[in-house]
Amino acid sequence: MTRHRRFPLDGGLLPAALAGDGLDVRVVQETGSTNADLVAAAKAGAGEGQVLVAELQWAGRGRLDRSWASPLGAGLTFSVLLRPAVPAGVLGWLPLVTGLSLVSTLREFAGIPATLKWPNDVLVDGAKLAGILAEAVPSQSGTAAVVIGVGLNVDTDIDELPPGATSVVLCQQRASRPAVGRGELLIELLRGLVRVHRRWLAEPATAGDAYRSVCDTLGQQVRVELPDGSAVTGTATDVDDHGRLVVDGRAFAAGDVVHLR
């Protein structure tokens, strides 16, 4: 298969472009896990707005300890350190708000009709485009820190993807749209995250309706595979005020959701 050219991210341009958004961006060629690196930084007292981007991640994890891998220079793998001043009961919305911001940017900037599978898998026509992993960092001072990790397939070709996945370039080829550069897309994604995050902090109640409007899980027959190995099947009807998925009147804060078609 003939592959299109992949250009490295500009480690000088990105920090300069995003400094005005309160972000301190660092690009590395490779690391084990951008999330693990920023969790360690948070424990050492690093401030909010640290962003670590890796061209290659060799020990990345998704939700439920799944691995996340991407060919060198083909995706966007990055983590952001946040210290949101919100009650613990509201913190569960942060991963969902992050998913909402990704979907909004992909729709507005790249013209990709992305949706969300609860809680925060980014889908296009049922195929997975991106995953999000949020990790809370304990703190003796009581100031909550959360590291948000994002893995997005960008320039990944069909033979490099796992079954059931897609990429930005494949979506744009299918729609006969010009490809977007990874650097440009990363800038827009991070600016979108800052914008949506600040709106959520100012008005936490506004996130619910915006999230529900792009959540493809609602209204579907689903199977929720729970951490204890059991599973529940039913109709997903809502996402409640705590960010939990409601299936036939029962709310779930964690679990792997399978859309039944």
Inside any domain, residue 4 = no
Report pLDDT for 142: 57
Same domain, 32 and 146: yes
Inside any domain, residue 50 = yes
Inside any domain, residue 8 = no
What is the per-residue pLDDT across 66-120, written as a single tens digit (0 to 9) for each? 555 667 889 999 999 999 988 877 888 999 999 999 999 999 999 999 999 999 9
Same domain, 125 and 227: no
Domain that holds residue 99: 13-212
Report pLDDT for 3: 59
Instruction: Give the chain's domain count.
Output: 2
pLDDT above 80 for 36 = yes
The answer to whether residues 120 and 132 touch, using CB atoms and an 8 Å cutoff, is yes
Q: What is the value of pTM for the model shown?
A: 0.93
Same domain, 221 and 208: no
Inside any domain, residue 135 = yes
pLDDT above 90 for 224 = yes
Report pLDDT for 257: 95
What CATH number does the domain containing 104 carry? 3.30.930.10
Same domain, 175 and 222: no
Secondary structure (DSSP) of 228-261: TS-EEEEEEEEE-TTSPEEETTEEESS-EEEE--
Show the tokens assigned to 140: 């003796």
Phi, psi dihedral angles at 8 (to 5 degrees): -70, 155
Q: What is the mean pLDDT of residues 116-134?
A: 96
Same domain, 126 and 193: yes
* Closest to 241 (Cα-Cα) out of 55, 14, 87: 87
Secondary structure (DSSP) of the chain: -PPPP-----TTHHHHHHGGGT-EEEEEEEES-HHHHHHHHHHTTPPTTEEEEEEEESS-B-GGG-B----TTTEEEEEEEE---S-GGGGGGHHHHHHHHHHHHHHHHH----EEETTTEEEETTEEEEEEEEEEE--TT---EEEEEEEEESS--GGGSPTTB--HHHHHHHTT-PPPPHHHHHHHHHHHHHHHHHHHHH-GGGHHHHHHHHBTTTTSEEEEE-TTS-EEEEEEEEE-TTSPEEETTEEESS-EEEE--
Q: Work out the percent of the chain whose per-residue pLDDT is above 70.
A: 92
Same domain, 174 and 239: no
What is the per-residue pLDDT across 97-108, written as a single tens digit (0 to 9) for each? 999 999 999 999
Q: What is the mean pLDDT of residues 31-58?
A: 94
Same domain, 46 and 71: yes
Same domain, 101 and 228: no
What CATH number does the domain containing 222 carry? 2.30.30.100
Same domain, 78 and 139: yes
Same domain, 194 and 233: no
Same domain, 92 and 187: yes
Same domain, 69 and 82: yes
